[in-house]
Amino acid sequence: MTRLAGTALRVTIFVGESDLWHHKPVYAEIVHRARAAGLGGASVFRGIEGYGASSLIHTHRLLSLSEDLPVAVVIVDAGAKIRAFLPQLDELVEEGLVILDDCEVIRYVGRDRTAGAGETGVTGETAE
């Protein structure tokens, strides 16, 4: 189980929902690479409205033609591990925003993989 406590670094990556990397969503590729790099965890959040450097507003409203909603990927881990991961983001993020924030981890607790009967296979967490 990964342990994380105290001072950490948070990287937040803002991309479009339809941004692709080799026919796969960029946000999904970031999550899979973060897991392969052994980072503490990654979460993807889908926005309902927003705009970026292009100033084009993307929204989920029915009358809008946008199918490219904003997506934020948030990863928190030790500063050295996050900084070592940044070159992969340079490769993946062609349009978007990558920000770093210092943060403090108060609690980071995962499931005990040996406690349950089965693995989900997707996240590696024990199925309940």
Report, as ranges of residue numbers, the positions in the chain whose pLDDT lies below 50: 1, 117-128
Residue 44 · residue 27 · CB < 8 Å: yes
- What pLDDT is attached to residue 110? 77
Q: How far apart, in whole angstroms, are the C-alpha atoms of residue 3 and residue 78?
A: 10
As a whole number of angstroms, the longest Cα–Cα distance in the chain is 49
Q: Could you give the residue ranges of the DSSP H alpha helices within 19-103?
A: 26-36, 79-92
Containing H/E element for 27?
helix 26-36
> Whole-prediction pTM value?
0.78
Q: Give me the number of domains the chain comprises.
A: 1
Specify if 50 maps to a domain: yes
Q: The CATH number of the domain where 28 resides is what? A: 3.30.70.120
Name the CA radius of gyration of the chain, rounded. Answer: 16
Specify if 83 maps to a domain: yes
- What pLDDT is attached to residue 105? 92
Domain with 83 in it: 6-105
